[in-house]
Chains A and B, each alone.
Chain A
Amino acid sequence: QKEVEQDPGPLSVPEGAIVSLNCTYSNSAFQYFMWYRQYSRKGPELLMYTYSSGNKEDGRFTAQVDKSSKYISLFIRDSQPSDSATYLCAMVGGGNKLTFGTGTQLKVEL
């Protein structure tokens, strides 16, 4: 079993839709949770960074962490074609190394 599980998609939604991206994890040592956006043939870009369980909002993006269920989510409101990318969840435990999910490919269509 992988430490971090993420549905690879692809996920296709119409413009303006609310997108929900999710990851589950098995390692209780993970304490910090990030979401990265990666455009094709580019490096990942940090979107959100959370520590505790609960919600964190930044513009159209909301990150949600449920440590009791080992489940994290990223919500994108009013999705735009420019949001089309691969979204990677990443987690850090005591070793300070990032463990990534496989990434979910998102396509927002006009």
Chain B
Amino acid sequence: GAVVSQHPSRVICKSGTSVKIECRSLDFQATTMFWYRQFPKQSLMLMATSNEGSKATYEQGVEKDKFLINHASLTLSTLTVTSAHPEDSSFYICSARVPGKVNEQFFGPGTRLTVL
């Protein structure tokens, strides 16, 4: 149980284009999902908290107009990187909180974004 998937696993795009990443909880309903960013050999940095049916809460320093988050259902959250630039190249990972287990998060396999 507690499986989280992400799609795509890898994406390469040109500078200026937008990229959408999907995060799905496969065997449970997740009212809260999280989006992280990880640079090589660095830890995970929380970008935003996504609650189903409401606006995402962004961490300080994260541009909400650049990183659009939508949590339209209890099993799906999406992150759209708008007008991507090479500095947005990174490993993006989502996680979902299991209902009733407030302090446990299960992570997706991650999406590697490369912006040329």
Cβ–Cβ contact A100 & B112, under 8 A = no
Complex alpha-carbon distance, A101 and B46, angstroms: 12
Residues of B within 8 A of A43 (CB): 4, 6, 93, 95, 107-110
Range for the number of chain A residues in contact with chain B: 20 to 34
Counting CB contacts under 8 A, is B63 at the interface? no
> In the assembly, what is the distance between CA of A97 and CA of B109, in Å?
20
Please determine whether A98 and B42 come into contact, CB atoms closer than 8 angstroms: no
A41–B110 CB distance below 8 A: yes
Q: Answer yes or no: B103 CB below 8 A from chain A CBs.
A: yes
Contact of A32 among B4, B49, B103 (CB under 8 A): B103
Whether B106 contacts A46 by the Cβ 8 Å rule is: yes
When C-beta atoms are compared, the residue in chain A nearest to B106 turns out to be A46
> Are A41 and B112 in contact (CB-based, < 8 A)?
yes
Task: Determine if A100 and B103 form an interchain contact, defined as CB atoms under 8 angstroms apart.
Answer: no
A96-B103 Cα distance, complex, nearest whole Å: 6
Query: For residue A6, which residue of chain B has the nearest CB?
Result: B43
Q: Using a CB-CB cutoff of 8 Å, which residues 87-104 of chain A contact chain B?
A: 88, 92, 96-98, 100-103
Give the chain A neighbours of B95 by CB distance below 8 A.
43, 98
Q: Judging by beta carbons under 8 Å apart, are B46 and A98 in contact? A: yes
Give B59's nearest chain A residue, CB to CB: A97
Question: Do B44 and A96 touch across chains, with their CB atoms under 8 A apart?
Answer: no
Please tell me if the beta carbons of A92 and B103 are within 8 angstroms of each other in the complex.
yes
> Which of A1-58 touch B at CB < 8 Å?
8, 32, 34, 36, 41-46, 49
Q: Given A32-B103, A97-B49, A42–B43 Cβ distance below 8 Å?
A: no
- How close is B21's CB to chain A, nearest CB, in angstroms? 13
Q: Decide: A97 near B107, CB < 8 A? Known: A41-B91, A41-B112.
A: no
Min CB gap A68→B, angstroms: 21
Do residues A97 and B46 form an inter-chain contact, with CB atoms below 8 A?
A: yes
| Interface residues, chain A, with chain B CB atoms under 8 Å away | 8, 32, 34, 36, 41-46, 49, 88, 92, 96-98, 100-103, 105
